[in-house]
Amino acid sequence: MPLLVNLRHLEKHDVHLNGELPVAELELDTRDEALQAKAPLKYDLEVQFLDESLLVQGDLELTLDCQCVRCLRSFKHQLKLSHWTAHLPLQGEEAVPVTSDCVDLTPNIREDILLAFPQHPLCNEESCGLPNLSIGKGKKAHNPGQNEADVSAWAELNKLKL
């Protein structure tokens, strides 16, 4: 069930919404195997009626199952949108759809969550990537004590005789 707010309830007082939204309701299409949402979205929102529009403020939290783009390890990433705010007009060109006196907050939440996804998920900032393995003939394994200039791509290119 999507995250709905009834406009009739807002006529009397502000509405507080707190709970979890199944990830299936968010319809997140990441198209990225390195970044998946499987746990429900936790939300704690306050909705106010403000000059023919809705003002939604609160916190959103979603746990993402990620794969590090450097070392390919799986890890969990906590996506937190603290003090999230949305202004939803009820009239005009940008008006949100109202169905049976209810407004669905899910599309706006989905959009901001997708914008907050990490572009290149890393298990930690110091992730060095995959271990350097010597594969095939002619390749040298990286020696940690070796000078970086000796193993740079430029040093290898300088060895070419053209």
Q: Which residue segment(s) compose the domain that 55 sits in?
A: 4-116
Per residue in 50-79, pLDDT (tens digit) is: 888 999 999 999 999 998 888 888 889 999
Tell me if 12 is assigned to some domain.
yes
Tell me if 142 is assigned to some domain.
no
Q: Which residue has the higher pLDDT, 115 or 151?
A: 115
Task: Output the pLDDT for position 46.
Answer: 95
Tell me if 47 is assigned to some domain.
yes
Tell me if 67 is assigned to some domain.
yes
Residue-wise DSSP of 82-117: EEEEEEEESSSTTPPPEETTEEE-HHHHHHHHHHHS
Per residue in 5-35, pLDDT (tens digit) is: 989 888 888 999 999 999 888 888 777 778 8
Number of domains in the chain: 1
Q: Read off the pTM.
A: 0.71
Q: What does pLDDT average to over the chain?
A: 83
Tell me if 147 is assigned to some domain.
no
